[in-house]
Structure 1
Amino acid sequence: MPAGAHAVTSPAQTALDLVRCERFLPAVAIADQAIWVNRRGGALTTIDALWARLDADPGHRGDARAARAFAFAQPLAANVRESHSRVVITRLGFPHPRLQERRVLPSGRVAYADLYFPEYDHWCEIDGRAKYSDPIFLDGRTPQEALIDEKNRENEIRRVVRAFSRWEATDADHPRRIWDILTSAGLPTSLPRP
């Protein structure tokens, strides 16, 4: 497809080429981001287009890897943190979460869970540090004000769900931490602690 004076591969072909040569976790993140529906301007491609590209060009090393990543991909994964945590959670034997679960809180405020386990009414948040330091996320607030706002939001969510878990993005690099966080909040797993 043309991009100015250059010919480039389509987003679906680019994603396929990348996931064919990546391990599962980065492959899922690539697929998730390619099909992310809430991207400003819309998704780069669709899961159907990814499968169509894979089916149209079989016989490559990495096809099975791509198929596993596409089967796991979710169009609501807003960022790599969510993709990474979802892969870790699944590898730890926890149920599959919903992404971006919407809840109207008693105050009228709308909140979205990064991950949500509906059968356990378990809400999960994956924290990045930018919301407390990046001027774009601070939106005129001080870091202290942003922290208090987030704590108040969390308190309101905790009052309407059975369980609430929060971790930093880097915690997903340590599966035992995620296992401890989720099991201590009552989420069942089919596997022992790693």
Structure 2
Amino acid sequence: MRRPKPLRRRCWRWRSNPLRRRDYIVETWIVLAMWVVISLGGALVGVVTAQAAEASFAQLRHDRHSVRVVLVESTTRAMQTVEGETNRRVRARIRWTAPDGSVRTGRAPVDSGRRAGSRVTVWLDSNGRFTEKPPAAKAAAVEAGTLGTGAALAFGGLVFAAGRLARWRLDQRRYDRWAREWDQVGPRWGRRTT
């Protein structure tokens, strides 16, 4: 059976060492802080973003409602798109009865291939304007999760880039210090070896 290493041997980097410089300690703390902020902050940003997106989608489902309308004109014509595919949605004249009992007409996007007089469903927002169907609860949950994951990854990327920038700056300071030290020691050392 293998004995665990004593704590003193595992934490040797934290002990006092004549070759250890203050920059090494600073760099260690930067890396530690960077990963803590990435893991905790990224999780927090992801959860908050996903909840905000879910609330936004729920508000859309609450504000929008479907209305059964009658097509006034036929939608058998299909419009060609740039890629050569046919567009399945076209704007057509429709008629419906408003909640107050008045008959209204307008143009709304409906599926192509319908004849005049057929009944279709369109979506209205809270102001009575035509709009798209709100995302279903399942699709909204998937999209909210995707947005949360993307926000967490973006936050993690920014923190990682900031940590790398700080470490790069420490490296530049170290290189400058080493160059100054070499300028002092190099000429004396070179005489001894020649």
Normalised by the shorter chain, which TM-score bucket? under 0.3
Query: Which structure ranks higher in relative contact order (CA pairs < 8 Å, sequence separation ≥ 6)?
Result: 2
Q: Report the TM-score when normalising by structure 1.
A: 0.20
**The structure with more radius of gyration:** 2
More helix by share: 2
Q: Report the TM-score when normalising by structure 2.
A: 0.20
